[in-house]
Chain A
C-alpha cells in the first residue's frame, strides 16, 4: 500500500571514470537522482520493482 510510482529510470555514469553511480527517475512525480545504496528507500523500491519485473532501468544515453 506504499508503492512508489517510478518512471523514466536511467543509469548515470561518472563523467571522469565512467563508473555507474546513480539512477535518475521520476518518483511520485518528482524529478530525482537516486544513489546506489540499499539503505536509500528510493533505491530499495527501484530494485524491488526491477526484481518484480515491474520496472526496467535504461542504460545511459551514449
Chain B
C-alpha cells in the first residue's frame, strides 16, 4: 500500500540542509515534521540495505539536548482515504495489517511508530520497536490490529498518518504505548522516545517501507522506477532545468502563446498523471519565453488559471512581450535551479 517505500524517487532533490521546519524536501511523499527541535540535513541517501539503492536519512547538524514540552521531530507518510477502503475499517470485516521497514541509527533502544486516523479525530495506535545495534541496518515488523469501529472516508483527503517518531518533548512522550486503536492522547504519541537529535551527528535512516493486509510480512515488492515515479506524480510533478545539455540549462518546460497585449503569455500544461487534487504551482529560478523569433526574459510572475487535476493554464506575466497572438514556449533561462512543479501533497 505504500508508494515509494524504497525511497527511489526524489523529484525535489537528493539533499536539503539547514532544516528547522516541516516540509517535503527530498524523497517523494515522505515528509519531515519539525517544531523547534534542532537543525537537520535531509538526504535521499545511498546508504541502504543490500536489497535497496536508497534510504531516507535525517542527520542532526545542531542538537537540542533538552527539547521543550511541545517540540517534535518525526517522519510522516500519509494515506488518502480511497487507498484504504479494502481495510474495511468500521465494519466487522476490518483487516489487521503488518508494517515492515528497514531502519538504521546511531541511537539504540525503543522507538515508536504511530498511526493516526485523520478521519476519526486522530484515533491512534503507537506500537514500539527496538533498534538493537548502532549504525546497523535492521529489519522490523509491527502488527497493526484491525479497527472495527473507525470508518475511513472514501475520498481523496488525508485519512491515516504513518509516523516514525525520532524525538519529542514531554507533551508527546510522557504517556504509554497504545497497542489497540484508541482515542487520541498527545502524551501517548511517542512513549519510547529514541531521542535522535540530542547530539550533533545523530541520524535516523529508513527504507523498504511496506504495509500489507495480514499478520505475516512478505518480501518487499519492488516496482520499476517508472512505476514508482508515476505513483508519486499523483502528489507532485516537477519539470526542471537539469541535467545540462552541452553545458547549458535551457530545458524546454512547456508550450504556450503570447496574448494580445505586451505583458501576458499563456503556458499550457497537461499532467502525465491525474493529480490527487487541484495542485499548487511552485516555481524557482529564471525563465525565458521564446517566440516571434526572439527570446523574452522579462517574466515577473506565474499564476494558475483554471487549474484542474489533469492540467492547467499558467499566466506568465511580464513586460516587453509581443502585442500579438504568437506561439511561444517556456524554457529555463540557462539557470540550473529553474523549476516548475505542481504540488497536491496531503
A-side residues, CB < 8 A to B, are 1-2, 5, 12, 14-15, 21-22, 24, 27-28, 30-35, 37, 39-43
The answer to whether B70 touches A35, judged by C-beta atoms less than 8 angstroms apart, is no
The answer to whether A40 touches B156, judged by C-beta atoms less than 8 angstroms apart, is no
What are 30 contact pairs spanning A and B, CB under 8 A?
A2-B22, A12-B303, A12-B304, A14-B306, A15-B259, A15-B264, A15-B315, A21-B307, A22-B303, A22-B305, A24-B301, A24-B303, A28-B21, A28-B23, A31-B282, A31-B283, A32-B281, A32-B343, A33-B283, A33-B303, A35-B278, A35-B307, A39-B276, A40-B278, A40-B279, A40-B280, A40-B344, A41-B345, A41-B346, A42-B280
Residue with the highest number of chain B CB atoms closer than 10 Å, among A27, A32, A43: A32
- The number of chain B residues with a CB under 8 A from chain A is 34
B-side residues, CB < 8 A to A, are 21-23, 33, 35, 70, 72, 156-157, 259, 264, 266, 276-284, 301-307, 314-315, 343-346
Q: List the A side residues contacting B307 at CB < 8 Å.
A: 21-22, 35, 37
The answer to whether A1 touches B70, judged by C-beta atoms less than 8 angstroms apart, is yes
Given A21-B305, A35-B279, A39-B157, output 4 extra A-B contacts at Cβ < 8 Å. A32-B280, A33-B283, A33-B303, A40-B280
Bound: A16/B124 CA distance, A: 49
The answer to whether A30 touches B259, judged by C-beta atoms less than 8 angstroms apart, is no
The answer to whether A34 touches B259, judged by C-beta atoms less than 8 angstroms apart, is no
The answer to whether B304 touches A33, judged by C-beta atoms less than 8 angstroms apart, is yes
Looking at chain B's contact residues, is the secondary structure mostly helix, strand, loop, or mixed?
strand
- Minimum C-beta distance from A10 to chain B (A): 9
Q: List the B side residues contacting A37 at CB < 8 Å.
A: 277-278, 307
Bound: A54/B243 CA distance, A: 41
Q: List the B side residues contacting A42 at CB < 8 Å.
A: 280, 343
Bound: A1/B156 CA distance, A: 23
**Top 8 closest pairs, chain A to chain B, by CB:** A39-B277, A22-B304, A37-B278, A12-B303, A35-B278, A33-B281, A33-B304, A1-B35
The answer to whether A32 touches B282, judged by C-beta atoms less than 8 angstroms apart, is yes
Minimal Cβ-Cβ distance residue in A for B284 = A31
